[in-house]
């Protein structure tokens, strides 16, 4: 089965630093997502992305966050100035875009802000 890949698997950073989390969605998918999970708890929606623009974003996705699809394969999440509370597992997902279709998730990037 095709996979969503995420790099790095772990990222440690100092508070106030910028981080970029990288994802390679499944090649024929059209919708891309970022979710996060804190301490193995609830999976929270951050943002969805389609046709090179944000489709929807949550309250969590403030001005410190941005997403980009810099080329035909990568999808990135940037946090400009990390805070302690940004520490979480960040999951990338992709789908074909049809509303009844499932999301395919990557294995996640564990971000630790010190």
Partner 1 sequence: AQSVAQPEDQVNVAEGNPLTVKCTYSVSGNPYLFWYVQYPNRGLQFLLKYITGDNLVKGSYGFEAEFNKSQTSFHLKKPSALVSDSALYFCAVRGRGSASKIIFGSGTRLSIRP
Question: In the complex, which residues of this chain contact partner 1 (CB under 8 A)?
Answer: 4, 31, 33, 35, 40-45, 48, 50, 55-56, 58, 91, 93, 97-100, 102-108
75 and 63 Cβ atoms separated by less than 8 Å: no
Shortest distance (Å) from residue 9 CB to partner 1 = 9
Q: Which is nearer to partner 1, 87 or 106 (CB)?
A: 106
Nearer to partner 1, 14 or 75 (CB): 75
Using CA atoms, how far apart are residues 4 and 94, in angstroms rounded to an integer? 7
What is the dihedral sign for C-alpha 39, 112, 102, 3? negative
Nearer to partner 1, 59 or 63 (CB): 59
| Least distance CB 101 / partner 1 (angstroms) | 8
Task: Report the distance separating Cα 23 and Cα 19, nearest Å.
Answer: 13
**Nearer to partner 1 by C-beta: 3 or 85?**
3
User: Closest separation between CB of residue 22 and partner 1, Å?
Assistant: 15
Tell me, rounded to whole angstroms, the distance of Cα 51 from its chain centroid: 16
Q: What is the rounded CA–CA span in Å between residue 7 and residue 5? A: 7
């Amino acid at each position: 089965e095709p996979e969503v890949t995420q790099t790095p698997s772990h990222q440690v950073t100092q508070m106030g630093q910028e981080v970029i989390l990288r994802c390679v969605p499944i090649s024929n998918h059209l919708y891309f997502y970022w979710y996060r999970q804190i301490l193995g708890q609830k999976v929270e929606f951050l943002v969805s992305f389609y046709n090179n623009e944000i489709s929807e974003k949550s309250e969590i996705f403030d001005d410190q966050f941005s997403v980009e699809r810099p080329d035909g394969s990568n999808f990135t999440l940037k946090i400009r100035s990390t805070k302690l509370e940004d520490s979480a597992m960040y999951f990338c997902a992709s789908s074909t875009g049809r509303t009844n279709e499932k999301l395919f998730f990557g294995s996640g990037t564990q971000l630790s802000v010190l």
